[in-house]
Chain A
Amino acid sequence: MHSMLSYPLDAPRIMRKRRTIRQELLERNTQMTDKRIAILGGSTTHDIREILELFILDQNIRPLFYESEYGQYWQDAMFGTDTLRAFKPDIIFIHTSNRNIMGYPDAASTAEDVEKLLQAQFQHFVTMWDKLQQEYHCPIIQNNFEYPYYRLRGNRDAVDVQGRVCFITRLNMLFAEYARDHENFFINDINYQSADYGLEKWSDPIAWYLYKYTLSLNAIPTLAFNVANIIKSIYGKNKKALALDLDNTLWGGIVGDDGVENLVLGQETSMGQAYTEFQEYLKSLQQQGVVLCILSKNEHENAIAGLNHPQMVLRPEDFVDIEANWDSKSRNLTRAAQKLSLLPESFVFVDDNPAEQEQIRQSLPETAVITARKVEEFVRHIDKGGYFEITYVSGDDLRRSEMYRENLKRVQLQESYADYGDYLRSLNMRAEIRPFADIYMARIAQLTNKTNQFNLTTKRFSQEEIEKMAGDDHYITLYGKLEDCFGDNGVVSVVIGKINGDEIDIILWLMSCRVLKREMEYAMMDEFVSRCKKTGLKKINGYYYPTLKNSMVKEFYGTIGFTKILEDETGNAKWFLNVENEYDKKNSNILVVG
């Protein structure tokens, strides 16, 4: 992550140094995916586009932009332009403000008038969103509205239906309702952002009169950061885990020196309250699917004793992994990541000690490091970092901690078996392997966007594209869901084949790393081959495109009986399998229910 683009933001420097920052981002040797973003503005958007580009590049996404002419958001959406149609956006970002509200109640308006006005204003937007959805089938990001800059009725402006504060509040509630009912529609909450930034600072009359910006220029990085967080989350690039220090981070004091009984925690002291509240915040994140781990320089038994302190909000079982030893933090983080089949880039590191923060920053540059050093600052820094922005809620997210814990139990069981086959059989695995089904579309799209390691082609798809392929006879689609004696892993594998005459090209094959070495890939292959045979296909073509992260599957097709026919100097390879021949089933340890 670029040091200037994480919380807290130095807005004037970002605004001024944008060219240099952009250059630095482009020169990083990381793999980028291209995304086409259409900005439909109700006011000037030029600087918003430039700053948004930086935050998106920082997520390893290279944005290509379409930008509407000044104030033309509604016209572009409703009537389209040839350029916009040809552009084929992956995401539409509508930037409006309360200056785009066309009518407000006045002193003489009756409650009925106000209701009509409210509905008319809401419908103006709904018509546009529906039209965009129908035409472009892509995620839409739409802001709600910041409060007005003056209050004709003073405090009653929030109370009377004629008040603008009241009107905007009601309109924002309607927007939120629409967002709850529409899966590919996301609210950019500028109502919160402007309040948080300070409405007085947010609204800069000069920026409006001179340049037609509806927010102050120095507020643009805050806005762009928030929008980029939504985009990052849509593409499955959220962080997944928090790596937490213990002494002076989760509790006050040093357990090894001060003893468990002297740790600062609980409601009796101000400092104790601060640590307790921080733990309550972490507990809420955990309930929402964020995985918690401990990295502590401590004797293991001291760490456990501290975690069992009666006033701890978090209990030892809330942490899926506890690394308490004298190794470096980066080594422990890497170890935790391996145990959980995650990459270090999926972690946010929290430690009061700046030397440890620096050690992680240098050894694991992709890991997010919270720069706060005091307990009373941790919540704000973690929260505003936007690491865990939620766009799609899948059941799997909520169960994530549980799933990682089940996985660790599997590892322990494996260690108790000398023969790997015995171990696999003891798991009593059952898989459900079927063509894409409606209830799993969100999860399938999420997997295509965040799976990096076991992923042959690393093609990213939107939910819309996934749904289209599912309904098209020219594709064979399969999802795989795996259960075992420890629990349900959910949907963990996805295969998409595109039929081409009597051959089929596997355009996507991925599997979540949490079920690696369970023969799930064999089960998927067996099912895929059997469906290809049924359809009368003669040949399956498999492709491997190397990325920085998927070398583990370089020879995958070879291991399941394919023959390599092409490989270029960059490692792109084509494999094939003749399915006219006899095919021996590869999976013997998973019971498959079709």
Chain B
Amino acid sequence: MMEKLYEIQDIIRDVLGDETITINQQSTAADVGRWDSLANVQIILAIEDTFGVEFSLDEMTSFYCIGDIIRTIEQKTGER
């Protein structure tokens, strides 16, 4: 769980070009400066590529916080 959190944090730092960003399970896009809808496209894409998963339209439209994303990845990779 934590490993995934750090990897996602890395992705967000890469995409937003800000090494000081820290996130937790409860973080939402609104908590992270500059995580707008344009950046969201890149963040989700990089998460899919990094974890080797593909989210469905339904899943993507229901993500609320980072924890939701991690739980969905774990379901898909059979870790839960």
In the bound complex, how far is the Cα of B42 from the Cα of A16, in angstroms?
A: 7
A206 touches B (CB below 8 Å) = yes
Whether A12 touches B57, Cβ cut-off 8 Å, given contacts A19-B17, A47-B41, A47-B42, is no
Contact check, B17 vs A205: say whether CB atoms are below 8 A apart: no
Chain B window 36-51, contacts with chain A (Cβ cutoff 8 Å), 1 for yes, 0 for no:
0110011001100100
Give the interface SS of chain A, mostly helix, strand, loop or mixed. Answer: helix
Question: Which of A54-62, A209-217, A447-455 is the contact stretch?
Answer: A209-217
Give the interface SS of chain B, mostly helix, strand, loop or mixed. Answer: helix
Residue of A whose beta carbon sits closest to that of B47: A16
Chain B residues with CB below 8 A from A533, complex form:
none
CB distance from A266 to the nearest CB of B (A): 44
Interface residues of A, CB < 8 Å — how many? Answer: 17
CB distance from B24 to the nearest CB of A (A): 22
User: Which one, B17, B45, B56, contacts A15 given CB within 8 A?
Assistant: B45
Whether A12 touches B45, Cβ cut-off 8 Å, given contacts A205-B57, A210-B60, A210-B61, is yes
Chain B residues with CB below 8 A from A17, complex form:
14
In the bound complex, how far is the Cα of B61 from the Cα of A19, in angstroms?
A: 26
Chain A residues with CB below 8 A from B45, complex form:
12, 15-16, 217-218
CB distance from B61 to the nearest CB of A (A): 7
In the bound complex, how far is the Cα of B54 from the Cα of A12, in angstroms?
A: 13
CB distance from A224 to the nearest CB of B (A): 14
Contact check, B17 vs A16: say whether CB atoms are below 8 A apart: no
Contact check, A16 vs B38: say whether CB atoms are below 8 A apart: no
B15 touches A (CB below 8 Å) = yes
Chain A residues with CB below 8 A from B61, complex form:
210
Contact check, A12 vs B15: say whether CB atoms are below 8 A apart: no
Contact check, A210 vs B42: say whether CB atoms are below 8 A apart: no
Within 8 A of B (CB), among A135-192: none
In the bound complex, how far is the Cα of B42 from the Cα of A46, in angstroms?
A: 11
Chain B residues with CB below 8 A from A47, complex form:
38, 41-42
In the bound complex, how far is the Cα of B61 from the Cα of A71, in angstroms?
A: 22
CB distance from B71 to the nearest CB of A (A): 19
Contact check, A206 vs B46: say whether CB atoms are below 8 A apart: no
Contact check, A16 vs B49: say whether CB atoms are below 8 A apart: yes
Contact check, A12 vs B46: say whether CB atoms are below 8 A apart: yes
Among A12, A16, A18, the most chain B Cβ lie within 10 Å of the Cβ of A16
Chain A residues with CB below 8 A from B37, complex form:
211
User: Which one, A19, A209, A213, A218, contacts B57 given CB within 8 A?
Assistant: A209
In the bound complex, how far is the Cα of B42 from the Cα of A236, in angstroms?
A: 33
Whether A206 touches B57, Cβ cut-off 8 Å, given contacts A46-B38, A211-B41, is yes
B11 touches A (CB below 8 Å) = yes
Interface residues of B, CB < 8 Å — how many? Answer: 16
Contact check, A19 vs B60: say whether CB atoms are below 8 A apart: no
Contact check, B42 vs A15: say whether CB atoms are below 8 A apart: yes
Whether A210 touches B57, Cβ cut-off 8 Å, given contacts A16-B42, A19-B17, A20-B14, is yes
In the bound complex, how far is the Cα of B11 from the Cα of A19, in angstroms?
A: 12
Chain A residues with CB below 8 A from B38, complex form:
46-47
Chain B window 9-49, contacts with chain A (Cβ cutoff 8 Å), 1 for yes, 0 for no:
00100110100000000000000000001100110011001
Chain A residues with CB below 8 A from B15, complex form:
16, 19
Residue of B whose beta carbon sits closest to that of A207: B41
Within 8 A of B (CB), among A11-66: 12, 15-20, 46-47
Contact check, A12 vs B41: say whether CB atoms are below 8 A apart: no
In the bound complex, how far is the Cα of B52 from the Cα of A1, in angstroms?
A: 30
In the bound complex, how far is the Cα of B56 from the Cα of A205, in angstroms?
A: 10
Chain A residues with CB below 8 A from B17, complex form:
19
Within 8 A of B (CB), among A187-207: 205-206
Since A211-B41, A217-B42 are in contact, a sample of 11 more A-B pairs with Cβ atoms closer than 8 Å, ordered by chain A residue number, is A15-B46, A16-B49, A19-B15, A19-B17, A47-B41, A205-B57, A209-B57, A210-B41, A210-B57, A210-B60, A217-B41
Please give the residue numbers on chain A whose beta carbons come within 8 Å of chain B beta carbons, in ascending order: 12, 15-20, 46-47, 205-206, 209-211, 213, 217-218
Query: What 3 A-B pairs have minimum CB-CB distances, sorted nearest first?
Result: A12-B49, A19-B17, A16-B46
Please give the residue numbers on chain B whose beta carbons come within 8 Å of chain A beta carbons, in ascending order: 11, 14-15, 17, 37-38, 41-42, 45-46, 49, 55-57, 60-61
- 16 of the cross-chain contacts (CB-CB < 8 Å) are A12-B46, A15-B46, A16-B15, A16-B46, A19-B14, A19-B15, A46-B38, A46-B41, A47-B41, A47-B42, A206-B55, A206-B56, A206-B60, A210-B60, A211-B41, A218-B49
